[in-house]
A and B are shown apart, each in its own frame.
Chain A
């Protein structure tokens, strides 16, 4: 059975003038356990909305999102939050680290609402990502590349089954982007997590065995 199975997914937003704007119309999509898939799409095509629906942050208007046998669309908001906390990790487009917290604390937050604090595991992740001497640093004291690695560590902190990555290399130069991508894929493999990565960068997408064009996946055309 696939890890992720999406059927007839639809999502619309109401525009400021009250008109209903469709964003997603995805007839089918699947992702297997430990599979790594790149989603290619332009800015404003609904990719982030797609990831947010899978993560349970947004509820679709219709359709089903089956994750490891659980229908996320049938869960309440609180249940989806708890599910996401235990089973998924998310690397945001602009990392979204919390400035008031150290690197270690940001990683601990990634596990706090799911399996619970495991300081040893959090430290191990940061050491593995080459941040042993940066654990007590706040995000503003880290380079962009280091922030990206903290974000990755946070996404893996709760030992997820699926990591969602929204343009994780968008803010990096080519060299660091390559390094970051290698790290994401390696750690997901190590921790047995599937990876669904969204990007418009062809160099990034070229690393994946399976690349899906979002415009092929989503029947809604045009930008949001």
Chain B
């Protein structure tokens, strides 16, 4: 049977090639959709981001987490400095790091913070931010910046380079450069997290940035002056990132802050907040999977059509094989084997399509969110997709196989 299948595929090179490519697209797309869905759900699932909770302005917990953990979306607003100090001294809190956001440099977000983010924070268990030698952590009193590895790579920035932060979170026509100039003093080693896309500057720098007006506790506008200390009552932050002491700390803090009228929101636990988001957006994954299955159906249809259309011209071939002693079942089996072989070849090529799609998506996802898509991740769909494609191919071959099965040997040999 192998010889007959090999010859048939060779004789119909063009249709075989087109069908193989179609099957490869389908197979590669299914694997890529499942892989991306799996990885982005895990990445945005909020698991192991280093912090347990985020305290921010009253509003959506999802928005708060997206803005501070994933450096996406806009900040829901500011909270007074006093809240930072209050929660920092709470026994239930192990670490409290303030963030002040709102500026960018060429589209990469600037986060004003304290040096604790480099000295005390672990973005993964046992793993803190590391600065590439010979870089340093910024001096809180100077206009210095530490940049993430993606920022350094994409903008070709190095130690000693300078830049002007721009107002806003996007690099667009409304984004005006501040007069202040910052010097890069350190570049972070890659963390494979959204932090790679961030520019870290001293929080004091955000307070003092030209055009920034602080509203503090009473809501009265205050503009900082050079060489003048900013009174605490005027300071405000976008959020406070929290590492909790464990136990009931999160629950009790959540009850306390989320019940405090319009003061603040405590997003806790971060993982649950993100799960609620991924659940709401789960339909996107289902739709993508459906599209992938539709592509598989189209590929199967293409295979069926291409084989079926050759059945008439191959009638004589089957009649000769039957006359030489091939059984009906053998001829049937040849066609099904042919279809399965084409599907198998498509599945094998599908890995190339898979890596092409995943590679492209990885660049885009990393660029937009800082989330790293692992191309080497092995997941079940890499096994069941090719197997399923071969099965689909075999099924697609059934109708043409039945036609071959029913060949009128004597009639076909006579040219009828």
> A residues bordering B, Cβ < 8 Å?
48-49, 52, 55, 57-58, 77-78, 81-82, 84-86, 90, 92, 96, 98, 100-101, 105, 108-110, 112-114, 154, 158
Asked if B413 and A58 make an inter-chain contact with CB atoms under 8 angstroms apart, the answer reads: no
Asked if B325 and A86 make an inter-chain contact with CB atoms under 8 angstroms apart, the answer reads: yes
Q: CB-nearest residue of chain B relative to A157?
A: B324
Q: Which chain B residues border A82 with CB–CB below 8 Å?
A: 325, 327
Asked if B324 and A105 make an inter-chain contact with CB atoms under 8 angstroms apart, the answer reads: no
Q: Which chain A residues border B409 with CB–CB below 8 Å?
A: 52, 57
> Please, could you name 15 A-B residue pairs with CB atoms under 8 Å apart, sorted by A?
A48-B410, A52-B409, A52-B410, A57-B409, A77-B328, A78-B328, A78-B329, A82-B327, A85-B326, A92-B320, A100-B7, A112-B324, A113-B321, A113-B326, A154-B324
Asked if B325 and A81 make an inter-chain contact with CB atoms under 8 angstroms apart, the answer reads: yes
> Is B287 at the interface (CB under 8 A from chain A)?
no
Q: Which chain B residues border A101 with CB–CB below 8 Å?
A: 7
> Is B91 at the interface (CB under 8 A from chain A)?
no
Task: Known A78-B329, A100-B8; judge A109-B324 contact (CB<8 A).
Answer: yes
Asked if B413 and A96 make an inter-chain contact with CB atoms under 8 angstroms apart, the answer reads: yes
Task: Known A48-B414, A96-B413; judge A55-B323 contact (CB<8 A).
Answer: yes
Q: Which chain A residues border B255 with CB–CB below 8 Å?
A: none
Scan residues 316-334 of chain B and give those whose CB is less than 8 A from a CB of chain A: 316-317, 320-330
Asked if B323 and A57 make an inter-chain contact with CB atoms under 8 angstroms apart, the answer reads: yes
Asked if A85 and B3 make an inter-chain contact with CB atoms under 8 angstroms apart, the answer reads: no
Majority secondary structure of chain B interface residues (helix, strand, loop or mixed): helix
Asked if B316 and A113 make an inter-chain contact with CB atoms under 8 angstroms apart, the answer reads: no
Asked if B410 and A49 make an inter-chain contact with CB atoms under 8 angstroms apart, the answer reads: yes
Distance A153 CA – B52 CA, assembled complex (angstroms): 82
Q: Which chain A residues border B8 with CB–CB below 8 Å?
A: 100
> Is B10 at the interface (CB under 8 A from chain A)?
yes
Task: Known A100-B10, A100-B11, A101-B7; judge A84-B413 contact (CB<8 A).
Answer: no
B interface, size bucket: 20 to 34
Contact among B317, B320, B322 with A81 in the assembled complex (CB-CB below 8 Å)? B322
- Smallest distance from the beta carbon of B272 to chain A beta carbons, Å? 64
Contact among B3, B321, B326, B327 with A105 in the assembled complex (CB-CB below 8 Å)? B3
Task: Known A96-B413, A100-B8; judge A113-B325 contact (CB<8 A).
Answer: yes
For A48, A90, A98, A158, the residue with the greatest tally of chain B CB atoms inside 10 Å of its CB is A98
Task: Known A58-B410, A100-B10, A100-B11; judge A90-B323 contact (CB<8 A).
Answer: yes
- Smallest distance from the beta carbon of B154 to chain A beta carbons, Å? 55
Task: Known A49-B410, A52-B410, A108-B3; judge A98-B320 contact (CB<8 A).
Answer: yes
Q: Which chain A residues border B325 with CB–CB below 8 Å?
A: 81-82, 84-86, 112-114, 158
Q: Mark B86-108, 1 if CB is under 8 A from A, else 0.
A: 00000000000000000000000
- Smallest distance from the beta carbon of A207 to chain B beta carbons, Å? 26
- Smallest distance from the beta carbon of A115 to chain B beta carbons, Å? 10
For A58, A85, A114, A158, the residue with the greatest tally of chain B CB atoms inside 10 Å of its CB is A85
Asked if A85 and B324 make an inter-chain contact with CB atoms under 8 angstroms apart, the answer reads: yes
Distance A162 CA – B329 CA, assembled complex (angstroms): 25
For B3, B323, B414, the residue with the greatest tally of chain A CB atoms inside 10 Å of its CB is B323
Scan residues 1-58 of chain B and give those whose CB is less than 8 A from a CB of chain A: 3, 7-8, 10-11
